[in-house]
Amino acid sequence: MNSFNFNIYLKEKQAVVEAALDQSIAVRYPERIYEAMRYSLLAGGKRLRPILCLAACELVGGTIDQALPTACALEMLHTMSLIHDDLPAMDNDDYRRGKLTNHKVYGEDIAILAGDALLTYAFAVTAQSQGVAAELTLQVIGEIAKAVGSLVAGQVVDLESEGKPDVSEATLTFIHTHKTGALLEASVVSGAILGGAKSEQIQALRRYAQNIGLAFQIIDDILDITGTQEQLGKTVGKDLQAQKVTYPSLWGLEASQQKAQELVAAAQAELHPWGAAGEPLRAIADFITARTH
């Protein structure tokens, strides 16, 4: 049996996702809004959320075709959150994925509308799932809608916490499990639902996703301190500049890295019942702590 090669797996899945995203939104009148949507949606990135969705679906016996519309929808929602997060009223960022942010190219008005359009279009795309029972598609729409609500709640508490020296670990964890973790969780769980997973399988994969979601954010906090703009494709040191409490500011860099590794190990333990079939999701968990951008 050939050993699993994560780099090949990642490139293959990224290519599938990129092609589907390119097909998902055509430019038509009024061209400016569709161009703005495509500008951010097709700006690259790891495509972690759609790939998690595809991997979870395949793990439980589903197919790529069953999960691909929802995988694209998840990337649309993630892109929406980045467009809005970068606005002057939020994090006020000039660069994202190595390119000028949406509002720097199209203006704040179009950027807001592009995010709104991606948000609503994502649900239309999810509803187009192929070869999936209607009740499962409905379940997925509910899962994703809850994640978007969580994302908004996390962003609110994040904004309210800026500049406050006494933000607790519990508040910080609330921000990150809602702002970052919820959509990662929805990605994994949606894929499992679409693939016809049993309830106990869904619960195991939900725990896996919750663990990698928090690990992902801890590493993001670390990279904001240790990374460069060239590596990350976005402005670094923003957390310190905005006086945001982060995991490294609470625990230090070494303890933060250790915590991320513990979370990844806990996530991988949830995949034990699947044996070798769980290798893609195991590798994604490792990728989260090893990444440099």
Q: Count Cα atoms within 13 angstroms, Cβ side, for 293.
A: 15
Q: Residue 245 — pLDDT band, cuts 50, 70, 90?
A: confident
Whether 81 contacts 183, CB under 8 Å: yes
Q: Residue 224 — pLDDT band, cuts 50, 70, 90?
A: confident
User: Residue 233 has what pLDDT?
Assistant: 60
Sign of CA dihedral 26, 95, 70, 111: negative
Q: What is the pLDDT of residues 51-68, one digit of tens each?
A: 999 999 999 999 999 999
User: Residue 291 has what pLDDT?
Assistant: 79
> What residues contact 269, with CB distance under 8 A and at least 6 apart?
none
Sign of CA dihedral 263, 267, 270, 273: negative
Mean of the pLDDT values across residues 187-198?
Answer: 98
Whether 263 contacts 212, CB under 8 Å: yes
Of 110-119, 224-233, 265-274, the range with the lowest mean pLDDT is 224-233
Rounded to the nearest integer, the mean pLDDT of the chain is: 93
Domain count, the chain: 1
- Residue 181 sits in which domain range? 6-290
CA 174 to mean position of chain CA atoms: 16
- 22 domain-assigned: yes
Give the domain CATH number at 242.
1.10.600.10
Of 139, 103, 141, 109, the C-alpha closest to 124 is 141
Can you count the helices (H) and strands (E) in the chain? 15, 2
User: Residue 1 has what pLDDT?
Assistant: 43
User: Residue 285 has what pLDDT?
Assistant: 97
Whether 231 contacts 292, CB under 8 Å: yes
- 199 domain-assigned: yes
Asked whether residue 263 carries a pLDDT value surpassing 60, the answer given is yes
DSSP 96: E
Q: What is the pLDDT of residues 133-181, one digit of tens each?
A: 999 999 999 999 999 999 999 999 999 998 888 899 999 999 999 999 9
- 1 domain-assigned: no
Please state, in angstroms and as integers, the Cα–Cα distance from residue 2 to each residue in 64, 110, 276, following that order.
21, 49, 11
